[in-house]
Amino acid sequence: MILAIETSCDETCAAVVDGTAVLANVVASQALLHRRFGGVVPEVASRRHLELVGPVVQAALADAGVTLAEVTAVAVTVGPGLIGALLVGVSAAKAYAYGAGKPLIAVDHLHGHVASLFLGPDAIEPPFLCLLASGGHTLLLDVSDHRTFHVLGRSLDDAAGEAFDKGARLLGLGYPGGVAIEALARNGRATRATFTIPMAGRDGLDLSFSGVKTALATRLAARPPASDDDRADVAAGYQEAIVESLVSRLERALKMTGHQRVGVVGGVAANGRLRARLAALAERSGITVRVAPLAYCGDNAAMIGSAARFLEPQPFPALLAIDAYPRATLKVKSL
């Protein structure tokens, strides 16, 4: 049984995970705090993590009905992410581990997103192809076992979630943007406001989202939406271009790798239009497509506890040497 802590961005999270079962999963979102700035302010996030991490850990233990003495290890996200935010989680995790005489497990945030697919009754087993689409990353991954994955393709510029967030800002929808664009798009028709699909017709598996964001900005400047219906159409067209790009790249990766199983994870995996397109892909191709359960798409600590199962626990005093890192350390595989 693992107590996991995640503080890489603007969600303060703690979970208790026992094998593939999630006994507690507490997420204290700071979104409202950052909304007036139009995005996450790193120093504000760190200070809020500091206030929230204790209560969030206590809430997770209480929800799970266990004491710290009963867990076998503490796990924590060590990177990539906002370095100040990560350091709050890492310091807290070290304190809990040392104080309770437990080992500490260092978990990579991206490994955590992949491991969200190992939770619950519908867990998917490696090897599989994984699309990870979040606010910080958009990656096509070859997952060869529970702890090993290689990058097959990646966004050359903005991440898909970033495209949603920046698009939402251009549409005057505020932060965070993905949910807001999806809600507005539900009232619109994508066919009335089409955008060029990013990277369509290009070789390889890389993605790109800064062009479609610029196309949105140009369109809004040249033709400001005349009505709410108009704005909804633009949101729907913009969402469609991002989703179409993700799905077509995924299909291409399937053909190139021959994988018969696909997992889709990260904050953007919560998008209803993407989920519908993925369900259609599964139906049409017979390929197993597993999208992370909604509760584990956005940042959470259950996925960190899930990844931790496959990693080496560090006892005291080795755990004191565990450090945070801001940038992703990714292994690439060329097909």
Provide the minimum distance between the beta carbon of 198 and ligand KG4 in the complex, in angstroms, as a whole number.
Answer: 15
Task: Give φ, ψ of 247 to 5 degrees.
Answer: -70, -40
Sole binder of Zn ion in the list 7, 134, 257, 271 (CB under 5 A): 134
> Any contact of residue 80 with ligand KG4 (CB under 6 A)?
no
Provide the minimum distance between the beta carbon of 141 and ligand KG4 in the complex, in angstroms, as a whole number.
Answer: 14
C-alpha torsion sign, points 14, 18, 21, 24: negative
Buried residues in 175-208 as b, exposed as e (16+ CB within 10 A): bbbbbbbbebbeebebeebebebbbeeeeebbbb
Nearer Cβ to ligand KG4 (105/264): 264
- Please state the length of the chain: 335
Comparing CA positions, the residue from 93, 87, 95, 119 lying closest to residue 105 is 93
Query: CB under 5 A: which stretch of 69-77, 175-183, 283-291, 292-300 binds Zn ion?
Result: 292-300
- How many positions of this chain bind Zn ion (CB under 5 A)? 2
> Any contact of residue 263 with ligand KG4 (CB under 6 A)?
no
CA atoms within 13 A on the CB side of 140: 28
- How many positions of this chain bind ligand KG4 (CB under 6 A)? 20
Nearer Cβ to ligand KG4 (245/257): 245
> Any contact of residue 178 with ligand KG4 (CB under 6 A)?
yes
What is the three-class DSSP state of 261? strand
> Any contact of residue 11 with Zn ion (CB under 5 A)?
no
How many Å apart are CA 185 and CA 188, to the nearest integer? 5
- The entry of ligand KG4, Zn ion, none near residue 167 (CB within 5 to 8 angstroms by kind) is none
Provide the minimum distance between the beta carbon of 226 and ligand KG4 in the complex, in angstroms, as a whole number.
Answer: 26
> Any contact of residue 167 with ligand KG4 (CB under 6 A)?
no
> Any contact of residue 164 with ligand KG4 (CB under 6 A)?
yes
> Any contact of residue 299 with Zn ion (CB under 5 A)?
yes
Nearer Cβ to ligand KG4 (108/162): 162
Interface of this chain with ligand KG4, residues 279 to 298, rule: CB under 6 A: 298
Query: CB under 5 A: which stretch of 50-58, 95-103, 297-305, 308-316 binds Zn ion?
Result: 297-305
> Any contact of residue 112 with ligand KG4 (CB under 6 A)?
no
What is the three-class DSSP state of 236? helix
Comparing CA positions, the residue from 302, 249, 303, 238 lying closest to residue 271 is 238
How many Å apart are CA 36 and CA 32, to the nearest integer? 8
Task: Give φ, ψ of 43 to 5 degrees.
Answer: -65, -35
What is the three-class DSSP state of 29? strand
Residues of this chain that bind ligand KG4 (CB under 6 A): 9, 134-136, 161-162, 164-165, 176-179, 182, 266-268, 270-271, 298-299
Residues of this chain that bind Zn ion (CB under 5 A): 134, 299
